[in-house]
């Protein structure tokens, strides 16, 4: 066990992968100086500019180059800086990376990890604060990962590099400094959720930074005698139906919480699946359908805090 940050755990996992496999390369803006969050710190100094490649400011070119590298036998890690900037490379993601294996009958594969930090970035306004995981969950051909802890950001990044298909890897913009114990030997399985808290009255499902608010809300509810089970989904696609449905079947109540806009968010998929399979009581909680404001008072309106989560839980339990 070692104490490290969310960013350090990812950098260490990537360093180990690059040392073990010459096919692993990194490309993106500012990766040579360590990335804007320090998630590539020291990698160019160790592996050189031919494997940690600084690129022009063109997301379409970066993703397109990554797709070509992957088809040629490399395992590129493509840096988008933030998910908001990935919108400039969506054609390459949606029409090239995601579809290649299917359209060519499996003759080509795109073992590429595309890192796109999501979420509200403090005082960064509408163009730098989006959570777009539902967009990629809707896209056949890609895996979607949302690590919430330093341990998972190391373990899931290794799993993503071994996946063999394009992985949309969604770290949170404000978790980089989060510290926690990390054990390198721990393996993570894509598609496997983690139960963080056991409970009998209510199942709460969330992912990424929103877990912090949910954990706080669960503690508040416990003080009121309402015992909630908290599940970290960890991967959005594939998602762990067995763990979620098994918990919801026991508690009879399911609350899905995410930082993304509630309308058409991925929480709707989980809630609908549980309602169809179990007939349990379900509720979704997400952000209002508004742009994230720059002013603190406006930004706060787009956040789903622990108080809102606890209130939604009480309402669901009646």
pLDDT value for 286:
98
Residues 6+ apart with CB under 8 A from 291: 125, 126, 302
- Residues in the chain, total: 318
Judge whether residue 27 has pLDDT over 90.
yes
Judge whether residue 1 has pLDDT over 90.
no
The residue behind tokens 């009958």 is 105
pLDDT value for 220:
97
Going by pLDDT thresholds of 50, 70 and 90, the confidence category of residue 167 is very high
Going by pLDDT thresholds of 50, 70 and 90, the confidence category of residue 23 is very high
β-strand 235-237 against 143-145: which pairing, if any? antiparallel
Closest by Cα among 76, 74, 73, 72 to 28: 76
What is the number of alpha carbons within 13 Å of residue 204 lying toward its C-beta? 36
- Is 195 in a helix, a strand, or coil? strand
pTM metric for this prediction: 0.97
Q: Which of these is catalytic: 128, 172, 253, 258? A: 128
Q: What is the pLDDT of residues 86-120, one digit of tens each?
A: 999 999 999 999 999 999 999 999 999 999 999 99
Share of the chain above pLDDT 90, in %: 99
Mean pLDDT value across residues 225-251: 98
Mean pLDDT across the chain? 97
- Token pair recorded at residue 214: 């949910």
Give the number of other CB atoms < 10 A from CB of residue 20.
10
Q: What is the pLDDT of residues 262-273, one digit of tens each?
A: 999 999 999 999
β-strand 202-206 against 194-197: which pairing, if any? unpaired
Going by pLDDT thresholds of 50, 70 and 90, the confidence category of residue 67 is very high
> Using CA atoms, how far apart are residues 275 and 200, in angstroms rounded to an integer?
18
What is the number of alpha carbons within 13 Å of residue 282 lying toward its C-beta? 22
β-strand 179-182 against 194-197: which pairing, if any? unpaired
> What domains does the chain contain, in order, with CATH numbers?
2-182 (3.40.50.970), 194-317 (3.40.50.920)
Judge whether residue 168 has pLDDT over 90.
yes
pLDDT value for 69:
98
Mean pLDDT value across residues 17-45: 97
128 assigned to active site: yes
Q: What is the pLDDT of residues 126-159, one digit of tens each?
A: 999 999 999 999 999 999 999 999 999 999 999 9
Share of the chain above pLDDT 70, in %: 100
DSSP for 14-53? Answer: HHHHHHH-TTEEEEETTGGGT-TTSTTTTHHHHH-TTTEE
């Amino acid at each position: 066990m070692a104490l490290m940050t969310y960013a350090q755990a990812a950098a260490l996992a990537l360093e180990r992968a690059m040392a073990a496999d010459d096919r692993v390369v990194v490309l993106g803006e500012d990766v040579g100086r360590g990335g804007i969050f320090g998630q590539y710190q020291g990698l160019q100094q160790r592996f050189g500019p031919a494997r940690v490649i600084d690129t022009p400011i063109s997301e379409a070119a970066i993703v397109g180059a990554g797709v070509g590298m992957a088809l040629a036998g490399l395992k590129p890690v493509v840096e988008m800086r933030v998910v908001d900037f990935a919108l400039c490379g969506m054609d390459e993601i949606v029409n090239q990376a995601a579809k290649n294996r299917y359209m060519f009958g499996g003759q080509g594969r795109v073992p590429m990890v595309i890192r796109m930090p999501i979420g509200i970035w403090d005082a960064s306004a509408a163009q730098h604060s989006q959570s777009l995981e539902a967009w990629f969950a809707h896209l056949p051909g890609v895996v979607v990962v949302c690590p919430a802890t330093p341990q998972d950001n190391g373990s899931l990044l290794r799993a993503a590099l071994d996946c063999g298909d394009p992985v949309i890897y969604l770290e949170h913009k404000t978790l980089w400094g989060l510290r926690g114990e990390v054990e390198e030997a721990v393996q993570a399985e894509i598609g496997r959720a983690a139960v963080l808290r056991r409970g009998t009255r209510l199942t709460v499902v969330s992912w990424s930074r929103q877990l912090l608010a949910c954990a706080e809300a669960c503690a508040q509810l416990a003080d009121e005698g309402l015992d909630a089970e908290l599940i970290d989904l960890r991967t959005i696609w594939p998602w762990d139906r067995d763990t979620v449905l098994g918990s919801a079947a026991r508690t009879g109540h399911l609350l899905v919480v995410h930082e993304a806009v509630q309308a058409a968010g991925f929480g709707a998929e989980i809630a609908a699946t549980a309602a169809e399979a179990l007939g349990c009581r379900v509720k979704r909680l997400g952000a209002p359908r508004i742009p994230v404001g720059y002013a603190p008072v406006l930004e706060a309106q787009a956040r789903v805090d622990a108080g809102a989560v606890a209130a939604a839980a009480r309402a669901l339990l009646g």
